[in-house]
């Protein structure tokens, strides 16, 4: 899978889009938003069917999650000697692009399922700007509710064929970039609810979060945001990051909104949340590097369990886009860290 087009420029342009007026927001090669609200997503990454098998030892199927159009792609190792942990995973894309069917995610998550090993449920949540936050967070929580409902289904046929392979005493939330932000916010919601909602995962047990380059923001720039110059290989620049947040947050909200910055003054205090242990994967050349590291420090100050893994010589989304010389080696390291984290809980 090759790298995406450069995602760096631009806030807006004045080129007309047929029948929809001028383009007012654009991330080159990925998304255009017109003045009348029309959204055009460009085919930057090919979709692949669930039947395509990059890992021969992993079976994959698409399933409906509830009745509102939400769906997910399941990855289940074919050969098992015991029940496996369940990883509920959310793809990246700045809340605005991406799909559980994108080839890069299909390849990566098939590897996770094979090498962890675990059952992976990759969620195809609603996208902004048509569905601004908290829509993606609501879809994440709805997925957890759906998993809870499915646990009573133990049939070997559809739709519950995968359930018999899961150890619901070991459930994990995970994702990369915006997907990591979704995983964190779902865990935070579960950790702030009263008794009825906090029992969503009972008798399932939420054992941890796998947060890969979590896409958080803030009004004040970090050093890596200001000083890390991004090459044409980069999947995220400061300009594209700002554009994603303008499209994803409620109109008028800034980047210190709680849905963007979990460390902002108006966000729920980390000390007050019942959060599971976290593995936070940080990329050395990512503009989000310092913000991710600040998040780890804030979690530790709040008494939360955090493992931080930093990957040298690579930037944002290297594990799915293979857009750096060291991508393959670092992805192998990441898979080793994910396995160790999951099986230590």
**Alpha-carbon distances of 189 from 194, 197, 198, 203, 278, rounded to whole Å:** 10, 9, 9, 18, 15
272 is catalytic: no
Write down the catalytic residue from 316, 322, 327, 337.
316
Rg of the chain, C-alpha, whole Å = 19
Q: Return phi, psi of residue 176, to 5°.
A: -125, 145
Write down the catalytic residue from 139, 176, 286, 290.
286
Nearest to 235 by CA among 88, 44, 103: 44
Write down the catalytic residue from 8, 122, 177, 234.
177
| CA distance linking residue 38 with residue 282, whole number of Å | 35
- Is the bond into 202 cis (omega within 30 degrees of 0)? no
256 is catalytic: no
177 is catalytic: yes
Using a 10 angstrom Cβ sphere, with 0-12 exposed, 13-18 middle and 19 or more buried, the burial of residue 271 is exposed
Residue 158's SS3 state is coil
Q: Which two tokens stand for residue 52?
A: 């395509």
Residue 315's SS3 state is coil
Annotate 1-33 with b (16+ C-beta within 10 A) or e (fewer). Answer: bebbebbbeeeeeeeebeebeebbbbbbebbbb
List residues with catalytic annotation: 177, 286, 316
């Amino acid at each position: 899978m090759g790298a995406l087009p450069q995602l760096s420029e631009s806030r807006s342009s004045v080129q007309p889009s047929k029948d929809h007026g001028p383009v007012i927001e654009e991330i080159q090669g990925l998304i255009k938003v017109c003045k009348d609200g029309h959204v055009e997503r460009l085919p930057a990454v090919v979709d692949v069917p669930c039947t395509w098998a990059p890992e021969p030892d992993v079976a994959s199927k698409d399933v409906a999650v509830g009745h509102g159009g939400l769906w997910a792609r399941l990855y289940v190792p074919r050969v098992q000697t015991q029940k496996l942990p369940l990883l509920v995973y959310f793809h990246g894309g700045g809340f605005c692009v991406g799909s559980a069917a994108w080839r890069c995610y299909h390849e990566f998550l098939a590897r996770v399922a094979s090498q962890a090993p675990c059952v992976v449920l990759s969620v195809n949540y609603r996208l902004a700007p048509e569905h601004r936050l908290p829509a993606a967070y609501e879809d994440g929580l709805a997925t957890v509710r759906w998993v809870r409902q499915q646990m009573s289904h133990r049939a070997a046929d559809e739709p519950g064929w995968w359930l018999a392979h899961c150890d619901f005493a070991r459930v994990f939330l995970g994702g990369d970039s915006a997907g990591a932000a979704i995983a964190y916010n779902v865990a935070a919601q579960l950790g702030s609810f009263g008794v009825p909602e906090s029992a969503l995962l009972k008798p399932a047990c939420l054992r941890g979060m796998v947060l890969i380059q979590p896409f958080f923001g803030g009004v004040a720039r970090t050093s890596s945001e200001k000083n890390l110059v991004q090459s044409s290989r980069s999947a995220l620049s400061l300009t594209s990051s700002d554009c994603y947040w303008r499209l994803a947050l409620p109109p008028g909200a800034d980047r210190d909104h709680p849905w963007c910055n979990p460390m902002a003054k108006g966000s729920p205090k980390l000390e007050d949340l019942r959060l599971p242990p976290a593995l936070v994967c940080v990329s050395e050349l990512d503009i989000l590097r310092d913000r991710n590291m600040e998040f780890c420090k804030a979690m530790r100050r709040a008494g939360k369990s955090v493992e931080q893994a930093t990957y040298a010589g690579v930037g944002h989304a290297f594990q799915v886009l293979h857009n750096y010389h060291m991508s393959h080696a670092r992805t192998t390291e990441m898979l080793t860290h994910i396995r160790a984290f999951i099986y230590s809980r």
